[in-house]
Structure 1
Amino acid sequence: MKILVVEDDQPLLKTLISILKEEFYEVEFAIDGDNGLFLAERNIYDLLIFDIMLPHKSGLLIVKELRSKEIHTPILLLTAKDSVQDRVNGLDVGADDYLVKPFAVEELLARVRALLRRNRPVDEDELRYGPISLRSSEHEGFVDGKPLKLTIKEYELLEYLLYNREQILTREQIFDRVWGLDSEAAISMVDVYVHFLRKKLSQCAEYVRTIRGVGYVFRRE
C-alpha cells in the first residue's frame, strides 16, 4: 500500500513516516501544499494524509482541487483545530476522515486501516471488473472463469490497472508500481507487457486503452 503524507512540521513528518513504514506501508511525502498537490495528481496512492495548515496551499484547498478532478483516493486530514465547524469544513470539501493533533499512534493506524479497507473489494481474495477477475491467493487472472495463465509481471500489471480502473495512468506511474524506480529495466517494458496482457485478455483486450503520449486507462466503455 502506498501513502502520501503532506506535513510541514518536520519532526512530526519524520515520526509519521517512521510509524507507517514500520507497518510496511510505502510512504512518499511533501512539506508544502503545492508539492503535495503535484504528487497527489501525478501519482497513484492508496491513501492521502494532509495537514490542513500548509505553506502555499492549505490541505482543504488540496482536497477540493483533487475532488474537482475526480481523484477519489481516500483522504485523512490532520489538524490542531478541533471545533465541530472545522471538522465539518474538512468533510464537506471531500475528506474522508479527520484526526486532531496530538493523536495516539494506535488511533492513527486504526483510521489508516479503515480508510484503506474502503478501497478493497468485499472479498479481498477476488477483484472483479466485468468478465475479468483476479484471485490474489492464486496470483492468477480469469476471463469468464477461464484462467489467463499470467506471468508474475503480467499479474501485477493487470492488478494495478484493475485497482485504478477508469483512471488514466502514465507509463511512469505503471513502471514505478510494477517494476520500481530502481529497476534496471527500461520504461519501454510497460508497452511490451501491455501487449502481452492484451493478447492473453483476448476478447477483453480493448479494455486496456492507449492514451497517446501519456499511458493507459483500463475501461470498458
Structure 2
Amino acid sequence: MRRVTPMTVDVVLPCLDEAEALPWVLARIPAGWRAIVVDNGSTDGSAALAAGLGATVVHEPRRGFGAACHAGLLAAEAEFVCFCDCDASLDPGLLPGLVGAVAEGSAELLLGRRRPAGRGAWPAHARAGNLALSWLLRRRTGLRLHDLGPLRAARREALLGLGLTDRRSGYPLQMVVRAADAGWRVREVDVPYLPRAGRSKVTGTWRGTYQAVHDMRRVLDEPVRAGGGRP
C-alpha cells in the first residue's frame, strides 16, 4: 500500500449544532491532515469551538447536507478528500485505511459500510430507508453496495469532475451514482457505527427519513451520464 504523506488529505465535516461532539471528532483526525468544518447555520457555537480546536471553518449559509459537503469539497486543496459526519457516530481515525485503498488503486471511491456498535446507533426507520435505497441503487447502477454511509474517501480532482449538483440529502447518493456512471471502482468496507451525540437532523425521525429518501429518489431518476471521466 502506498504511504500517504502528511498534508495530502482534507477531511470535510458538515456541521449543524454539533458542539457536543466536535472535541471528540476533531481529536480523532489523523495527525497532519486538515479538518474542514463546514458550519451550516449552527446556533450552539460550533463554528467558534471548531476554530478554537484548530479546524479550518467554512461557513455555508444555504441549508442542506449536500450544500455543506460541497462547500467543504470546494474549500479542499489536498490530493485526497474524505467526508465524515460530525456527530461522533463515525470515527475519523479509521480514514487512513480508506485513503490508503484509494491511493493504491484498489478503489476510486471507498465507502464505510456502517455496522451498529451499541444500542440506538442506527434506528430501524433509518436502516430501512438505507436498505431500500441500496436496492434501488443496485437496479440503477449494478453496484452491490449495502450502505450509502457518509464516511468516504476519493481524490479531490476526480470528485470535482463528477459535477455534483444536489445540495440536499441526495448528495451522497449522487456522488455514488455519478461515480458508477463514470466507470469508477466503488467499494465499501465495514466500519463501526456508534450512537451519535444529539439528534440526527436528517434521519432522526420518520419524516426526516422520508424526506431523505425522496431527495435520493430524485437522484436515481437522473438519466445515465455518458462518460464523466475516470480519476
CA radius of gyration, larger in? 1
TM (norm. structure 2) is: 0.26
Higher RCO (CA < 8 A, seq sep 6+): 2
